[in-house]
Amino acid sequence: MDNSEQNIEIDKETTFNIVDRNLLAGSTIKFDITCTLREHRQNETISISLSASLDVYDESTISTMAMRLKNIFDQLFSISSIYQFSLLLPHEVELLHDLNHTFLDYGHIGYIHWDFADQAHLHPQKVALVLENGSLTYVELLFYAQQLANYLIIKCAVQPGQIVCQLIERSFEMVIGMIGIWMSGGIYTPLNLHDPDKQLNAYIQQTDAHFILVHQTTQNQLLSQCLMINVGQVICFDHINAEITTYIDSINVTPEHISHIIFTSDRSGLLKAVSR
């Protein structure tokens, strides 16, 4: 059985060096790996012998063990605090640092509706939304969202940071409503169609919302003092008005503004709103 032996010498100045490395062919050892410490009083040193079977360990593995053992003793005799000790070798620390160094500079922080508008200008005729047998291109979706945003700004006087709820089932209007709210500077707050009316009213009361976006199938679902805005009637799919006065560019939003609010419950079961 072949064995690999590496000696680590500790001298009186507590510096550490691997001073010997031998492959002992044809010899046998009792254990798969053995670590032996010897004190040399004449020269005031301590040597450590690490013996391992090559039938069990690769040569590179044994070498790494020796280096790791040396690293431990380096730290034991240093002035470092014990919580700073590490089994990692220098190249492993560097590798770990590289793996965790994931910072990317995205430049200026944009907004979802801005990014969508950029895509609409780059790919106006590409399909952006598909639902059952219908579809909308990027430019169509942008146009309808701008129409709704202008309505919220001009007719409803929605201000940046104002909550706008939405109670709309899966449809084109759902996506148009979401983008339109962001374009107006409002806080997108979706309501779940399957929640009881009492719970929906509790959500609306908690957010102190004044506007709720609905469409034809949900406009009569709630009895609320809020203004119900039928998205389908606002954007008028059948006749597109090409002369839209756009006030969207004047809306001042910052990264500190809340994007949306969702509803959940805490451990006690009480309803609460969570903003992002």
Tens digit of each residue's pLDDT (9 = 90 or more) over 58-77: 888 888 888 888 888 888 88
pLDDT, one tens digit per residue, over 109-137 is: 678 888 888 899 999 999 999 998 899 99
Q: What are 165-197's pLDDT values in tens digits? A: 999 999 999 999 999 999 999 999 999 988 888
Q: Which residue has the higher pLDDT, 271 or 80?
A: 80
pTM of the complete model: 0.59
Residue 34 vs residues 7, 30, 61, 107, 262: alpha-carbon distances, Å: 12, 9, 14, 56, 60
Please determine, for residue 252, whether its predicted confidence score (pLDDT) is greater than 70.
Answer: yes
**Cross-strand bridge partners of residue 190:** 166
Residues 90 and 73: beta-carbon distance below 8 Å: no
pLDDT over 80 (residue 248): no
**C-alpha closest to that of 145 among 122, 108, 117, 109:** 117
| Calpha distance 266→259 (Å, rounded) | 21
Within the chain, where are the H helices?
Answer: 59-76, 90-100, 112-122, 138-154, 172-183, 197-207, 231-235
Q: Are 165 and 209 in contact (CB under 8 A)?
A: yes
Helices (H) and strands (E) in the chain, counts: 7, 12
Q: To the nearest 10°, the Cα dihedral for 171, 228, 253, 124?
A: 30
What is the average pLDDT across 215-222? 84
Quick one: tokens of 125? 């005729």
Domains defined along the chain, listed by start: 3-100 (no CATH), 112-275 (3.40.50.980)
Whole-angstrom distance, CA of residue 50 vs CA of residue 31: 11
Q: Is the separation of the CB atoms in 82 and 40 below 8 Å? A: no
User: How far apart (Å, rounded) are the C-alpha atoms in residues 127 and 174?
Assistant: 17
Tokens representing 260? 């949306």
Residue 229: pLDDT over 50:
yes
Each residue's pLDDT tens digit, 76-90? 888 878 888 888 888
For helices 112-122 and 172-183, angle between their N-to-C axes, nearest 10 degrees: 110
The C-alpha atoms of residue 175 and residue 269 are separated, in whole angstroms, by 30
Top-confidence range, 116-120, 124-128, 201-205, 237-241: 124-128
Distances (CA, A) of 137 to 121, 124, 252: 11, 7, 27
Distance CA 95, CA 179 (A): 42
Q: What is the pLDDT of residue 77?
A: 80
Backbone angles phi, psi at 172, to 5 degrees: -60, -40
Render pLDDT for 18-32 as a digit per residue (tens, 0 to 9): 555 555 555 666 788
